[in-house]
Amino acid sequence: MTYELANYSSLPIALTMGDVAGIGPEIIVKSFMDAPDLMQGTFVVGDVAHMRRATHLMAENYEPKKYLPILEIDHATQAILTPPHCIPVLQAVAVGDDCVPFGGVSARAGSMALQCVAWAAKAALDGIVSAIVTAPLCKESMSISNEALAVFPGHTELLQHIAASYMKVDLQDMPVRMMLANDELRVILVSVHVSLKEAISLVTEDRIFTTIAIAHEALSHQLGRAPKIAVSGLNPHAGENGLFGREEIEIITPACSRAQALGWHVAGPYAPDTVFMRARKLIDNELAFDAVIAMYHDQGLIPVKYDAIDRGVNITLGLPLLRVSPDHGTAFDIAGTASADAGSFIHSVQQVKNIIHKRGKKCYE
């Protein structure tokens, strides 16, 4: 799990355009309008025509009604030299005759989204960009596209495959985990998109230990020191000494002990209904936890989203590249209306810049 990353802070950051039938292009344009300084050094991996449609849309519908010019670039490094209030776009897909309509499943949109992610991942692995921020894509559109990579259901699987091929390792030797983060709380999930019943069966000592290990390594480099990690229990009150479930005793505690034996700052299992609140409350305090390991999707996502859905970002840990994404989907229902909130996308770019700023040259993610 130790990889040399491209992480010079002078390298540009790639923004993949996402599904063009969704809100991706417009939240990118909104980010350039609302946070021009922050967006300096980033560029869009996408399609000039669709990005131009988004700038028109925003110029007509979003205050201040400003038309941001698109600057077509042909190499990532040109992004660094792009003046503010200008959106650099690298044409990463074949130029088409027209734009995909908003709000529906489309094989062409899926294909374009895929190609942008593949281009950006390769650029990150080659050390041409320091990180990628991915606008949302539509799984269904991707799956009906004719691309060879369409077999992968989402960003995470796709990036895992591209990175493992690039590094010439087996997929199973590159385990990844989803981290959700906002200003107050970082949560790393033991499992993601499976039923709750299946999530319980994935609560194994190895899987929890691997999750802790990935979190420990990634956060050590993001923070520049060993992180303090809290591990949540699975059952109410963390099982109350076996009274409401024995997973804490038989599985979670042994996983924590393995991590502690390595000298890592790992504590738990704690009662799920208070561990997030405690980690959050004290996050800038000596007693705080830097992150919480959550046993399943909603255990971790409920607290991250509760206060701050517009500030939550998703960071894929375990990859040999840094990938951050906003914590929302394509929002087909409002695509093309200029009403989507760019907050989470802006926070994603901010997170990337914070992480790049903090870490040294050699990095684990």
Q: Minimum distance from CB of 85 to its own copies (Å)?
A: 33
User: In sequence order, which residues have a C-beta less than 8 Å from that of residue 284 and are 6 or more positions away?
Assistant: none
Out of 81, 86, 169, 194, the only residue in the binding site for its own copies (CB under 8 A) is: 194
Q: Is 144 in the site for its own copies (CB under 8 A)?
A: no
End-to-end CA gap in the chain: 8
Residue with smaller CB distance to its own copies, 162 or 301: 301
In the window 220-279, what residues touch its own copies (CB under 8 A)? 234-237, 239-240, 243-247, 272-274, 276-277
Q: Does 298 bind its own copies (CB under 8 A)?
A: yes
Tell me the C-alpha distance between 149 and 312, whole Å.
28
Helices (H) and strands (E) in the chain, counts: 14, 12
Q: What are the strands of the beta sheet with 87-91, ordered from one edge?
A: 70-73, 87-91, 42-46, 13-16, 131-134, 323-326, 313-317, 177-181, 186-189, 291-294, 228-232, 265-270
Candidate residues 4, 60, 72, 198; the one interacting with its own copies per rule CB under 8 A: 198
CB of 200 to its own copies, least distance (A): 6
Among 280, 311, 323, 359, binds its own copies (CB under 8 A): 280
Q: How far is the CB of 341 from its own copies (least distance, A)?
A: 13
Query: What's the closest the beta carbon of residue 228 comes to its own copies, in angstroms?
Result: 19
| Residue 182 touching its own copies (CB under 8 A) | no
Give the helix ranges, DSSP H, for the chain: 24-34, 36-39, 48-61, 78-81, 107-125, 139-143, 155-167, 196-201, 205-223, 247, 253-261, 272-281, 297-308, 343-358
Q: Which value, to the nearest 10 degrees, does the dihedral of the CA atoms of residues 359, 360, 364, 365 take?
A: 30
Distance CA 72, CA 67 (A): 16
Tell me which of 227, 303, 320, 326 binds its own copies, using CB under 8 A: 303
Q: Which of 94, 171, 196, 282 binds its own copies (CB under 8 A)?
A: 196
Beta bridge partners of 88: 71
Site membership for its own copies, residue 193 (CB under 8 A): yes
Residue 62 in the binding site for its own copies (CB under 8 A):
no
Cβ pair 92, 74 in contact under 8 A: no
Taking CB under 8 A as the criterion, the residue among 30, 50, 297, 347 binding its own copies is: 297
Nearest distance in Å: CB 247, its own copies: 8
Q: Which residues contact its own copies by CB under 8 A?
A: 192-200, 234-237, 239-240, 243-247, 272-274, 276-277, 280, 296-299, 301-303, 305-307, 309
